[in-house]
Each structure stands twice: as structure tokens, then as C-alpha cells.
Amino acid sequence: MSKRNYLLSLMMLAASVTANAQVISFSMDAEEAGKNTPEGWTEVNLPQDLPAFTEANTFYITSFGASSASADNTAAIQAALDAANEAGGGMVVVPAGEWLFGRITVSSKTVLHLCANATLKLLAYSDQPDHITKVPYITGKSNASDIVIEGESKETSIIEGQGGPWWDAVENKESGLQRGSIIRFHQGQRYLFRNFRIQNAPGTNLTLGQSGTGAHNTVHDISIYAPSSSASDPSHNTDGIPVWAPYANIYNCDIDTGDDNIVTDSNAHHIHVWNCDFKAGHGASLGSYTIDMHHIIYENLTFDGTDCGFRLKSNTDRSGDVHDIIFRNCAMTNVATPIQITAWYDKVPNDPATAAASPETKKSTTPEYHNILIQNVTATGYNTKNSNDKNYNGIMIYGRPESYVYDVTFDNVQIAHRNGVRLFFCKDIKFINGCTFTKTRTNQTVEATDQNLSSVMENLYEATYTWHNVTSGISNLTMPQRLHQSDTYYNLQGGQQKSRPTRKGLYIHNRKIIIIR
């Protein structure tokens, strides 16, 4: 059959089966009212020019042959989506029931609606045509824009990924294995995702954009679940919502997964995330790809048992100027690493002095982190002893000798953690407005009235900070040779004495920072 005749027959079928289709109520008024655009930012655009939905352009997948008893409903679902496209836009409805499917593509001005108690279920691993295709399962046709994927609640409208065998294949290092995201639109713009649940994805769940395209995304009331990466039967790289394009609003989401809960990557800027609950996962992340990444706000989040809270990570082959980042009004419970900022993704030096001895040449892709605000944050409850405690700290900032992290402000931040603070290759780190830190391993607390962080400092190297208007630390440890193997102790204000100090604080002795408690 020719393409023209196929389309004509499709239209005739659509006309015959939609005469009595129940029309689903549809509105974006709440999204318009709740955009929450920060001052000075470009407003995130919602899908526009969608048609009014009537019986004529509402298409139930069952009218195109989909059956809950079918082993594969991909063709039927795609036929319904194609009918919506031929109608100039429309709504495709997935009714209550379980519907097995493979990869489908959505055209512009289409709403894909999952009814309450509807489950779109990916074909089983053994029934997939191949395991080396990274194409998303739900994606857009070329340049498709103004698309809505929605359910009726994040408890009862479900996309099931059947990911277990995929995670086993990762563990077994299956050759050529590729895992497409459950949902990813990246050639057009203006997408809305709301009121459904994704669970057990083979890989990433809801990915926004790609290489800067696919801008203007709104995501709210989405629930995402996969087993933790530390579970006995873990998922692998099941990031909740990765963001690779500018202009996004993400709010009222619950994410409990095996990798980053929400993560911004290269080309993500003007991203606002708020009112979300994170359980297992790697927290509110930025990177590891951080080219053209700036103006990001994470706020009003709760973390319960995540590996990390706020985590900025990258390396010298994938970064650049990263700035204007805000993390505020958040509460963490039992979080292994509440605050981590590192420019050494996956290869943190064992000894910062070794890194200082051979700095790299700074280039356009070298991480340069600055203008970061961490405000009104609490972290409590983590007391677990780990085999490598230096990787689990209340605060870790690890810049590079050729590119310091700078201008990071902690404003009213209270952290209680088994381990203390580590600062390497950073400057202008400010603690203001009632910040406190408790190292529970040694039951030591630093209050706002104290002079510095020395009693909770695990390690400090080429770093300066201000603790409530008192400057401490040292910006350069390249000391004169006469200090080598000397009995002299130098304080951080330049004073010196021959005997071991009795006053608490940080000192330089034999070219090393020591702490007198």
C-alpha cells in the first residue's frame, strides 16, 4: 500500500472509531499560574497552539487494535499517534489496563494521556529487537514541538520499564549494550510532563533535551522509582531527570532511584527545581558534563538517605565556566555527603600536594566554579563509618591547582555529620549568618561565635575561608625552603614560634598544615 493510501485509510479508520470517543478534560491553567520564574530569568514556555480536544481528535489506542492481551501493542499505539498527527494535533488515550509496547514517536501538538490504572509496559528484555540501540522509547518525530505526556496521578498512571534484566546485563558487561531513556524529546521545544510514574527503567528515566536542543521543559508531579545502586539487586545509571538543555521548571516530584535524582549537565541553564522529595539516589547533582552550565536553582527539597545532597562534579575534558548556582531551603537526613564540589570527577587525588606539584595548563574545558550560594540548609543523622571515610564528609570542596573554586557562600547552614570538612584549592569560601558544624565522630561543634573550623577540619590545602567574618586557611603552601624540617610553627596570620603552640587552631609546621586541638 502506498503511503498516501495508508494515510487515507488511517484517517477513515480514525473517523469511524472516534465518533463516540470520551473526551478527556485538558487544561494548562495551573502550569501558567505556577511558573515561578526567578527574577531576571527567561520564562519557561509551555506547549502552545494545541487544538481544542473533541471526539474528532481524541484517539483511544484500543480503536487501533491495542489489547491488554496482546504481546506487543507498539503498532497500534503508533497508529493512534499518527492519526493525531494527521488531524493536525490531538489526544491519544491509553485506557486502564496493561499495554506492552516498544519504541513510539510523537508528533507536534499531541497529548499522550494515561488514564488512572493504565500501565504502559516496555517489552521484556528478551523480546526487545536488539540491545544495542540507544533510541528513547518515547520520543518525538523530527523537530516535533508542543507535546504533552500526562497521566491522571503519579500513583496510578504508570510507565513500567522491566529493567531488571537490563541491570543484570550491565553487571555481566554485555558487549555493545545500550539503554535508551524511557522518555526524551530533543529536536523541538516546549514539552510538558505531568502526573505519572516511571518505574524500573532500563537506564535513565525522563531526559530533557540533548546538546542544548529540546528547550523549554516543564515537569511536575512525576514519581520515579528504581532500586538503589547499593541495594542487593541494584539498578544501574537510572538517573531520574537528567537535563541537557536550557529553560526548565521541575517541581513536586518524588524520586527514589539508583543514580542522580535530578542532574543538570552541559547546556543546562536557567533551570529551576523546587518542592521535590529525594530518597535513594545521588542527590541534586550538576555534571559531570558542565559546559555552558549556569543559573541553576535547587530549592525547597528534602533528602532522606541519598548518597549526596548538593553535588557539583566535573573534570578537565568536559567543563568550563560554571556559575550562578543556588541550593537553598533544603533539609537532609542520613545523607552520606551533604555538600560536595569537586573538579576531579572519578579521579580525586590521594594527596593534594601531588596535584599541586604538577598542575595542568588551564584550558576552555577546565572546571571554573564560582558564585555559588548554599543557604538555609540543614543536614543531620549520618553517623555511618565507611572503609574510606575521607570520601564521606559534611562539606568537601576540591578545586584544582590551576583553577580554584571561589566565591562560595554558606548562609545559615547547619550540618551535623560523622566526618568534618575538607577544603582543597579554593578561596573566598564564606560562612555567614549562623552557620554551625558538628563532627559527630568526635562530638565537636563549631558555633558562629568560634574563630574558625579547625576543630572539625579534616584536611585543608591551599584554601582560604571566612568563618563569620574571621579569615582562616592559607591560599598557597609553596613555602620557603628554610621551613623544611624546621621546629618553627607558623600561624595563619604570619606569626611564628619555636615551641609547639598551646592555643587551638591551624598552624604550618614542616611544610604541612596541622591542627592543634
Structural domain spans, the chain = 1-228
The band of 388, judged by pLDDT with boundaries at 50, 70 and 90, is: confident
* Strand-strand pairing, 321-333 and 90-94: unpaired
Nearest one of 386, 468, 478, 477 to 432, comparing CA atoms = 468
φ, ψ of residue 55 to 5 degrees: the values are -60, -30
- For residue 507, pLDDT over 90 is answered with no
Average pLDDT (168-196) is 97
DSSP codes of every residue in 320-345: -EEEEEEEEEEEEES-SEEEEEES-T
In this prediction, residues 80-97 reach a mean pLDDT of 98
Higher pLDDT, 377 or 17: 377
Is 62 in a helix, a strand, or coil? helix
What φ, ψ does residue 331 adopt, rounded to 5°?
-125, 130
Residue 287, all three cell numbers: 555534571
Model confidence over 289-317: pLDDT tens digits? Answer: 999 999 999 999 999 999 999 999 999 99
pLDDT of 485 reads 42
* Phi, psi angle pair for 82, to nearest 5°: -65, -35
More confident residue, 223 or 476: 223
pLDDT over 70 (residue 260): yes
Euclidean distance between CA atoms 81 and 396, whole angstroms? 49
Are 334 and 304 a contacting pair, CB within 8 Å?
A: yes
- Give the chain's length: 517
| pLDDT, tens only, 32-83 | 999 999 999 999 999 999 999 999 999 999 999 999 999 999 999 999 999 9
Weakest mean pLDDT among 24-28, 350-354, 416-420, 438-442: 350-354
Percentage of the chain lying above the pLDDT 70 cut: 88
Q: What per-residue confidence (pLDDT) applies to 474?
A: 77
Query: Between helices 74-86 and 3-17, what is the axis angle to 10°?
Result: 90
Mean pLDDT in residue range 242-259:
98
Do 287 and 319 form a contact (C-beta atoms < 8 A)? Answer: yes
Pair 273, 250: CB distance under 8 Å: yes
CB 390 within 8 A of CB 458: yes
What's the CATH fold of domain 1-228? Pectate Lyase C-like (2.160.20)
pLDDT above 60 (res 8): no
- What are the backbone angles phi and psi of residue 125, rounded to the nearest 5°? -50, -45
Type of residue numbered 36: N
**pLDDT at position 312, please?**
98
The span from the CA of 508 to the CA of 514, in Å, is 6
| CB-based burial, 120-158: b 16+ in 10 Å, e otherwise | bbbbebeebeebeeeebbbbbbeebbbbbbbbbebebbb
Ramachandran angles phi, psi of 433, nearest 5°: 55, 55
Using the predicted structure, report yes or no on whether residue 90 has a pLDDT greater than 70: yes
pLDDT by residue (tens digit) across 117-129?
999 999 999 999 9
- What pLDDT is recorded for position 38? 98
Q: Rounded mean pLDDT of 397-406?
A: 98
Q: H-helix or E-strand containing 285?
A: strand 284-286
Q: Which of 17-21, 120-124, 148-152, 505-509 is the least confident region?
A: 17-21
> pLDDT by residue (tens digit) across 197-218?
999 999 999 999 999 999 999 9
- At 7 the pLDDT is 47
Q: What is the pLDDT of residues 263-294, one digit of tens each?
A: 999 999 999 999 999 999 999 999 999 999 99
pLDDT at site 390 = 86
Q: What is the pLDDT of residues 445-489, one digit of tens each?
A: 999 999 999 999 999 999 999 999 999 987 454 433 333 345 666
Q: Is the pLDDT of residue 2 over 80?
A: no
Helix (H) or strand (E) holding 503: none
How far is the first Cα of the chain from the last one, in angstroms, to the nearest whole number?
84
pLDDT, mean over the chain: 92
- Those residues whose C-beta lies under 8 Å from the C-beta of residue 357, and which sit 6 or more positions away, are none
Q: How far is CA 487 from CA 490, 496, 508, 515, in A?
A: 10, 10, 10, 16
What are 347's three cell numbers? 579521579
pLDDT higher than 60, residue 517: no
Residue 131 predicted with pLDDT over 50: yes
pLDDT at residue 20 in the model: 58
Give SS3 for 389.
Answer: helix
- pTM of this prediction? 0.90
Backbone angles phi, psi at 335, to 5 degrees: -100, 125
